[in-house]
C-alpha cells in the first residue's frame, strides 16, 4: 500500500506528486500513457531539413488519425507523437454541439505542450459567482491561494513584469522578456488611446534567468528558440518531466507506473473512504488495483469526470463523490479563436534577435470597475512580428541573384491580438458516459455536450470590436478578423466538471479540494474550478494542487482522512 496515489502526471499531477513526496508520503503516480524521457524523447534537435514532410502531416494520415488534434497549432510531423490518435480514442458529441478534446497521453501529459502563459486569478474572479449568481460561490478567496501562487511561481520560474493591476495580481517573477519595437508601438498607442488598458509582456513559465534551484534540477535559461511544443532539452520551461517529477523523484518517495489506464476508484462504504485505484494495463489489458490512504485525481477535467462517473457502487450509483449530481456538469472553456490581424504600414525599420517564448498580454479592462452589457470579461494575447525572408522567398518564383536580393529585404510589421473570454458556468454543459459504447479497454466512452451561451456571444462580438480598434490605433490595417469564437475545447482550458463550493448539494469539492462525500479523495486538476476567469488556468491548477497536498498530509497526520 502507498501513502498516496496521484492519477495523472501532467501539470496538476506533477505538482501534487512533488508536494506529497517532499512532505514524506510514499507516492504512486499513475499515468495512462507511455513513458517519455526528458530530453531523449524530444524533437527540439530537429533542423528544418530534418522535419518529415517539411513539418506537415500527410492529408490521409491527418484525416484518419488527427482530425481533432490537428486543430491545435502545435500539431505537426515533429510533435504528433505527443498527441493522441483520434482514431484510437473516440468520444461523442451532439450533432449541433461539437467539442474539440485536445489531449496527449504520455508521462508529463500536456505540460510538455502547453503555451506556458501563467497568470493568477484575481480577487474579483473568486468573487464573481457570488456577485452575479452564475455558478456556485468559490469556497476560497484570492488571499488564501496567494501564498501558494508565490510558492509555485518561484519553483517553476515565471518571467513577467509587475504592473500593480487589481484584475491581474503580480507574482514572484523572473525578469520579463522584452517587448520588441512593434509591440512597443502597440503599447504606446493602446495606452494613450484607451485609458485603463495596458499592454504588458506576456507572463510565461520560461526561465528568462535560471535560478540556482532551477539549475539543481538540470534546468537552464531559455535559448529563445520558440520550439517549446517539441519539448525542451534545456529544461528552460516548466513541465512535469523537467521540473516537478524530478523534484519528487529526488526525495526517494516516488513510484511511477505508465501504460496504466484508470478504470475506476474503489470505495469502502463502511469507512466512507476510497481504498484504491483500479487500472487496466494499456498493452496486456489485464486489470490490477493499487491501494493508498489518500488519492489525488489529476487526470484532466474530462478524464477525471469519466473516472468518477465510472466509479459506481451501491453507495454511489451515479458515480463516486456525486451525491450532488454535479460530477460532469458545468464544463467550461475559454472563448477562443477571436483573433484580429493587421499590417503596420509605418512600423519602425528595425528587427529583433531570436524568437521569444511569449509576446504581449492585454489584461482584462471590461467590467472591471463598471458593469457592461455582458458579465465577466476577457484579455488579449498577441505579438508583433516583422515579415521576413520566408514570405519574400515564397511570394513569387525566383532564382539566383534576384532571389537572394529579394530575401534580404524585410517586409512590414504584422500585429495579431487574440481574445480569451470567460464562459459562464452552465450545468447543462456536461460530460456523461456512453453506457453502451466502450473503448478498446472496456471503459465507457464519454459524451461531451457543450455550447456557447448568449453572454458568450455578446462578449465575442465586443472582443473582435476591441481587437480591431487597438490594431487600428497603432496605425495598423486590419487584414483578417474572426467572426465568432471557435468551438469549445479549442482553448484547451477545459474546466469545471467537479467544482469546488461551499454547499455539498451544489458542488463536489470543499475548500481544500477534498471531496464532500469521500474525505480521502482530493481533486486538483481543471475539473475543480468553480469559474474560469479569463486568464490561462494552469498556474491556478498548480497552486491548488500544492495547497491541497499540504492539507492532505496534515489531515493524514491528524487522522482526519
The confidence score (pLDDT) of residue 57 equals 96
Q: Residue 392: what pLDDT?
A: 62
Q: How confident is the model at residue 344 (pLDDT cuts 50, 70, 90)?
A: very high
| Mean predicted confidence (pLDDT) in 299-323 | 97
Extents of the domains making up the chain: 1-87+103-159+231-332+495-561
In this model, does residue 411 exceed pLDDT 90? no
Arithmetic mean of pLDDT, 28-32:
98
pLDDT score recorded for residue 504:
98
What pLDDT is stored for residue 340 in this prediction? 98
Residues 65-72, mean pLDDT to the nearest whole number: 97
Q: What is the number of helices (H) and of strands (E) in the chain?
A: 12, 15
Whether the CA torsion 389, 392, 398, 402 is positive or negative: it is: negative
The residue-averaged pLDDT of 370-377 equals: 94
Q: Is the pLDDT of residue 233 over 90?
A: yes
CA-based nearest residue to 524, from 503, 555, 557, 499: 499
Residue 370 has pLDDT above 90, yes or no: no
Residue 346: the pLDDT is 86
Q: Is pLDDT above 70 for 168?
A: yes
Give me the pLDDT at residue 388, please.
Answer: 79
Among 203, 199, 210, 264, residue whose Cα is nearest residue 235 = 210
Confidence of residue 408 (pLDDT cuts 50, 70, 90): confident
Q: Give SS3 for 343.
A: strand
Mean pLDDT (whole number) for 367-372: 91
Output the pLDDT for position 502: 98
C-alpha 81/C-alpha 84 separation (Å) is 8
Whether the CA torsion 103, 380, 543, 226 is positive or negative: it is positive
Q: Which fold has domain 1-87+103-159+231-332+495-561?
A: FAD/NAD(P)-binding domain (3.50.50)
Mean pLDDT of 263-285: 98
- 273-281 vs 287-297, strand pairing mode: antiparallel
Mean pLDDT of the chain: 96
At residue 104, the pLDDT reads 97
Give me the pLDDT at residue 189, please.
Answer: 97
> Using an 8 Å Cβ cutoff, are 180 and 415 in contact?
no
User: What's the average model confidence in pLDDT over 372-378?
Assistant: 96
pTM: 0.97
The pLDDT value given to residue 244? 98
User: How far, in Å, are 7, 272, 273, 550 from residue 292 at the CA level?
Assistant: 12, 14, 10, 17
pLDDT > 70: percent of the chain: 99
Find the mean pLDDT for residues 364-371: 94
The answer to whether residues 104 and 494 touch, using CB atoms and an 8 Å cutoff, is no
Average pLDDT over residues 513-542: 98
Tell me the C-alpha distance between 86 and 307, whole Å: 19
- Mean per-residue pLDDT, 427-440: 96
pLDDT of 230 above 70: yes
Cα–Cα nearest to 473, from 158, 176, 199, 146: 199
pLDDT at position 43, please? Answer: 97
Cell numbers standing for residue 247? 523534484
What is the three-class DSSP state of 436?
strand
For 385-400, the pLDDT digits (tens) are 998 777 766 667 888 8
Give yes or no for residue 549 having a pLDDT over 90.
yes
3-state secondary structure of 382: strand
- Predicted pLDDT at 394: 67
Amino acid at each position: 500500500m502507498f501513502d498516496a496515489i496521484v492519477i495523472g502526471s501532467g501539470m496538476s499531477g506533477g505538482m501534487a506528486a512533488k508536494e506529497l513526496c517532499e512532505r514524506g508520503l510514499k507516492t504512486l503516480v499513475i499515468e495512462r500513457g507511455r513513458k517519455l524521457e526528458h530530453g531523449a524523447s524530444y524533437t527540439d534537435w530537429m533542423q528544418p531539413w530534418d522535419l518529415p514532410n517539411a513539418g506537415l502531416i500527410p492529408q490521409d494520415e491527418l484525416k484518419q488519425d488527427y482530425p481533432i488534434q490537428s486543430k491545435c497549432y502545435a500539431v505537426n510531423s515533429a510533435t504528433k507523437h505527443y498527441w493522441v490518435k483520434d482514431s484510437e480514442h473516440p468520444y461523442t458529441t451532439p450533432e449541433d454541439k461539437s467539442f474539440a478534446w485536445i489531449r496527449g497521453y504520455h508521462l508529463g501529459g500536456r505540460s510538455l505542450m502547453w503555451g506556458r502563459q501563467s497568470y493568477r486569478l484575481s480577487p474579483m474572479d473568486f468573487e464573481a459567482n457570488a456577485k452575479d449568481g452564475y455558478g456556485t460561490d468559490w469556497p476560497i478567496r484570492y488571499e488564501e491561494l496567494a501564498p501558494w501562487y508565490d510558492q509555485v511561481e518561484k519553483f517553476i520560474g515565471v518571467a513577467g513584469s509587475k504592473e500593480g493591476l487589481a484584475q491581474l495580481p503580480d507574482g514572484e517573477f523572473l525578469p520579463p522578456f522584452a517587448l520588441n519595437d512593434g509591440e512597443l508601438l502597440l503599447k504606446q498607442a493602446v495606452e494613450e488611446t484607451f485609458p485603463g488598458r495596458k499592454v504588458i509582456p506576456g507572463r510565461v513559465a520560461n526561465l528568462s534567468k535560471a535560478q540556482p534551484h532551477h539549475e539543481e534540477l538540470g534546468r537552464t535559461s531559455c535559448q529563445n528558440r520558440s520550439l517549446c511544443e517539441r519539448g525542451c532539452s534545456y529544461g528552460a520551461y516548466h513541465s512535469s518531466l523537467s521540473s516537478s517529477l524530478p523534484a519528487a523523484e529526488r526525495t526517494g518517495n516516488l513510484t511511477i507506473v505508465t501504460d496504466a489506464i484508470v478504470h475506476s476508484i474503489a470505495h469502502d462504504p463502511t469507512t466512507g473512504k476510497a481504498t484504491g485505484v483500479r487500472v487496466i494495463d494499456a498493452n496486456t489489458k489485464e486489470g490490477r488495483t493499487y491501494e493508498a490512504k489518500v488519492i489525488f485525481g489529476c487526470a484532466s477535467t474530462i478524464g477525471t469526470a469519466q473516472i468518477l462517473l465510472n466509479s459506481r457502487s451501491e453507495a454511489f450509483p451515479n458515480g463516486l463523490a456525486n451525491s450532488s449530481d454535479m460530477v460532469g456538469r458545468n464544463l467550461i472553456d475559454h472563448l477562443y479563436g477571436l483573433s484580429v490581424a493587421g499590417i503596420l504600414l509605418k512600423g519602425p525599420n528595425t528587427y529583433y534577435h531570436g524568437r521569444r517564448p511569449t509576446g504581449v498580454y492585454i489584461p482584462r479592462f471590461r467590467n472591471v470597475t463598471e458593469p457592461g452589457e455582458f458579465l465577466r470579461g476577457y484579455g488579449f494575447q498577441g505579438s508583433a512580428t516583422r515579415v521576413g525572408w520566408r514570405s519574400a522567398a515564397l511570394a513569387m518564383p525566383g532564382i539566383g541573384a534576384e532571389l537572394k536580393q529579394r530575401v534580404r529585404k524585410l517586409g512590414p510589421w504584422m500585429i495579431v491580438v487574440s481574445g480569451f473570454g470567460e464562459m459562464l458556468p452552465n450545468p447543462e454543459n456536461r460530460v456523461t458516459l456512453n453506457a453502451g459504447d466502450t473503448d478498446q479497454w472496456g471503459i465507457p466512452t464519454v459524451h461531451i455536450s457543450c455550447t456557447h451561451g448568449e453572454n458568450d456571444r455578446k462578449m465575442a462580438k465586443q472582443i473582435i470590436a476591441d481587437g480591431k480598434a487597438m490594431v487600428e490605433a497603432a496605425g495598423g490595417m486590419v487584414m483578417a478578423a474572426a467572426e465568432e469564437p471557435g468551438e469549445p475545447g479549442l482553448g484547451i482550458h477545459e474546466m469545471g466538471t467537479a467544482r469546488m463550493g461551499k454547499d455539498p448539494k451544489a458542488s463536489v469539492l470543499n475548500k481544500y479540494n477534498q471531496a464532500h462525500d469521500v474525505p480521502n479523495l482530493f481533486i486538483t486538476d481543471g475539473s475543480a474550478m468553480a469559474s474560469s476567469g479569463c486568464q490561462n488556468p494552469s498556474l491556478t491548477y498548480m497552486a491548488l494542487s500544492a495547497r491541497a497536498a499540504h492539507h492532505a498530509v496534515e489531515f493524514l497526520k491528524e487522522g482526519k482522512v
